[in-house]
Amino acid sequence: MREAYQSDLRHLVDDLVNMASMVESALSDATDALLDGDLALAERVVAADPHIDERQLDLDAKSVELLARQSPVATDLRLLVASLRMSSSLERMGDLCAHVALVARRSHPELAVPEQHREQIRRMSDLALAALRDAAQVISDRDLALAAQVEKNDDELDELQQEIAREIGKGEGYTNTQIVDLTLLIRFYERLGDHAVSLVRRVGFLVTGDAVDTLGQATDVTEF
């Protein structure tokens, strides 16, 4: 019984890591769809999002069941609370990937991202993708050094968002729709990074054993 319980807890971590890898695929595909104007790929990303949502429901059902059945305390309780939060972040990240794909779809056959911003958007996507991959590893290995790295890398994502916003503000030759789309896109990538930071902070909460997840908030109130 006790062994089954420990195995259930380990499975929960595996499920979180699997969910992260579904979001990774969605993010990678969404950016490709966006930059290549690949409508079919964009549609696939949008169509796949409900599967990520189902994973969350499944994961949360397991967490709640374990809370009810095992009355966990200490580390196990923290793991279950963290799991409920991490699944929310991952679900939301899936939504954000679908949003990127929706911008690609809405713009088709035009490309949403003007030539001069392609590299920056690719870089934002790469940074978000790396953050997500690292976060999955942090969840799996509880590697707090890597967690610190994820936080640090998030700054570059914020800076890129601000850089692009500044360039749009004083730039010329954009259509209104391009500005709307770019503004949304850089916000989506920046939010993806924030959620990755939230994920690793929650692992920190698990490891350090603070009474509550004081660091787990996505502190997204920045000057942009």
Could you say which of 35, 39, 77, 146 contacts a copy of itself (CB under 8 A)? 77
Judged by beta carbon, residue 145 or residue 176, the one nearer a copy of itself is 176
73 binds a copy of itself (CB under 8 A): yes
Pick the stretch among 35-43, 99-107, 135-143, 153-161 that binds a copy of itself (CB under 8 A): 99-107
Residues 204 and 215 sit within 8 Å (Cβ to Cβ): yes
3 binds a copy of itself (CB under 8 A): no
Q: Which two tokens stand for residue 151?
A: 């936080």
207 binds a copy of itself (CB under 8 A): no
> Which residues neighbour 46 within 8 Å (Cβ) at sequence distance 6 or greater?
98, 101, 102, 105
For the bound state, the minimum distance from the C-beta of residue 57 to a copy of itself, rounded and expressed in Å, comes to 6
Pick the stretch among 35-43, 74-82, 129-137, 145-153 that binds a copy of itself (CB under 8 A): 74-82
Please tell me the count of residues contacting a copy of itself according to CB under 8 A.
51
Judged by beta carbon, residue 74 or residue 145, the one nearer a copy of itself is 74
For the bound state, the minimum distance from the C-beta of residue 183 to a copy of itself, rounded and expressed in Å, comes to 4
For the bound state, the minimum distance from the C-beta of residue 214 to a copy of itself, rounded and expressed in Å, comes to 6
Judged by beta carbon, residue 141 or residue 222, the one nearer a copy of itself is 222
- With CA atoms as reference, report the closest residue to 122 among 45, 185, 48: 185
179 binds a copy of itself (CB under 8 A): yes
The site string for a copy of itself over 43-62 (x = CB under 8 A, - otherwise) reads ---x--x---x--xx--xx-
> Which residues neighbour 23 within 8 Å (Cβ) at sequence distance 6 or greater?
52, 90, 93, 94, 97, 132
